[in-house]
C-alpha cells in the first residue's frame, strides 16, 4: 500500500519530514514529492501550495505518476461556529463554496455536469479517522462539512453565511478540490483539519498565532491514523 499525503504549507509538513525516512525526492510542477516511510507506511508526502488549482494538480500527480492507493490531506482550517483554535475536524463532506453556476440554475457550490454536489470520504478511512481521534484528549474533535474556496475567510458575515447555506463547520482552500480529483479517479481519500482561526476579522492574527499548534495537532491525528491503517494492513 502507498499513501499520498498532501499539505498546503511548509509548516504543516515539517513535523512529518523530521520523522520520515526519505528515500527519494522528485520535483513535478514546482512541487517536491518526498518518497519514503512514515510510521511504518510507504508514503509520498508533498507540499502542494495554497489554493484549489495547486492542490488539484498535486493530487493528480500523486495518482497518475506515483500511483498512490489512498490520499490523505491534513493541515489547518478556519473554524465556523463554536470551534476554537486547536480543535480538529474530520470532513464527512466537502464542497467548493466559490463555485457559482447559478446563471444556469445550479445551486451554489454545485459543479455543472458532475453527478454529485459534495464529495464524501472513503468509509473505511472515515471510520479509521474516528478511531484515531478517540485517542486524543487535549482538544475537541468534530465531524462535519468542510467548504473550500480560493478565499481566505476573515469575515464573520461570510463565515455565518457558509454555515447557513452549506452547513459548514470549517473552511479552507484545498480540501474539496483534492476530494474532487480523488473522486474522479476513484481513489479513497480523507481530509482532516486542525483549526487555526475562527474565520472572522481577527483570522489573520489568530492564524499566525495558532498555525504551529494547529499543525502539530493535525500531525498527531495523522500518526494515529497511520497506526490504525498499519494494523488493518497487517491483518489482511
**123-168, pLDDT tens digit by residue?**
999 999 988 877 666 778 999 999 999 998 888 899 999 999 999 9
State the helix-helix crossing angle for 123-133 and 203-235, rounded to 10 degrees: 110
- Concerning whether 98 is annotated as a catalytic residue, the answer is no
Catalytic option among 87, 172, 197, 200: 197
Q: Computed over its alpha carbons, how large is the radius of gyration of the chain? A: 17
Model confidence band, residue 103 (pLDDT cutoffs 50, 70, 90): very high
Catalytic residue list contains 233: no
Closest C-alpha to 5, from 222, 229, 164: 222
Average pLDDT, the chain: 90
Q: How confident is the model at residue 55 (pLDDT cuts 50, 70, 90)?
A: very high
Stated as kind and residue range, the H or E segment containing 41 is strand 41-47
Name the catalytic one among 12, 87, 118, 228.
Answer: 12
The pLDDT value given to residue 72 = 96
Amino acid at each position: 500500500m502507498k499513501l499520498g499525503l498532501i499539505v498546503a504549507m511548509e509548516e504543516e509538513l515539517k513535523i512529518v519530514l523530521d520523522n520520515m525516512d526519505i528515500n527519494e525526492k522528485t520535483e513535478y510542477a514546482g512541487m517536491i514529492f518526498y518518497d519514503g516511510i512514515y510510521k511504518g507506511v510507504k508514503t509520498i508526502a508533498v507540499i502542494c501550495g495554497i489554493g484549489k488549482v495547486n492542490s488539484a494538480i498535486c493530487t493528480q500527480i500523486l495518482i497518475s505518476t506515483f500511483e498512490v492507493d489512498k490520499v490523505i490531506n491534513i493541515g489547518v482550517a478556519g473554524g465556523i461556529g463554536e470551534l476554537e483554535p486547536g480543535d480538529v475536524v474530520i470532513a464527512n463532506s466537502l464542497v467548493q463554496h466559490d463555485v457559482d453556476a447559478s446563471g444556469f440554475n445550479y445551486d451554489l457550490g454545485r459543479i455543472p455536469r458532475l453527478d454529485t454536489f459534495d464529495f464524501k470520504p472513503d468509509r473505511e478511512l472515515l471510520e479509521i479517522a474516528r478511531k484515531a481521534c478517540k485517542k486524543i484528549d487535549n482538544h475537541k474533535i468534530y465531524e462535519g462539512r468542510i467548504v473550500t474556496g480560493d478565499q481566505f475567510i476573515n469575515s464573520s458575515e461570510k463565515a455565518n453565511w457558509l454555515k447557513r447555506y452549506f452547513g459548514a463547520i470549517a473552511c479552507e482552500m484545498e480540501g474539496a478540490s483534492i476530494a474532487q480529483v480523488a473522486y474522479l479517479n476513484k481513489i479513497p481519500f480523507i481530509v482532516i483539519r486542525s483549526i487555526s482561526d475562527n474565520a472572522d476579522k481577527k483570522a489573520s492574527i489568530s492564524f499566525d498565532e495558532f498555525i504551529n499548534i494547529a499543525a502539530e495537532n493535525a500531525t498527531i491525528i495523522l500518526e494515529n491514523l497511520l497506526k490504525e491503517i498499519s494494523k488493518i494492513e497487517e491483518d489482511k
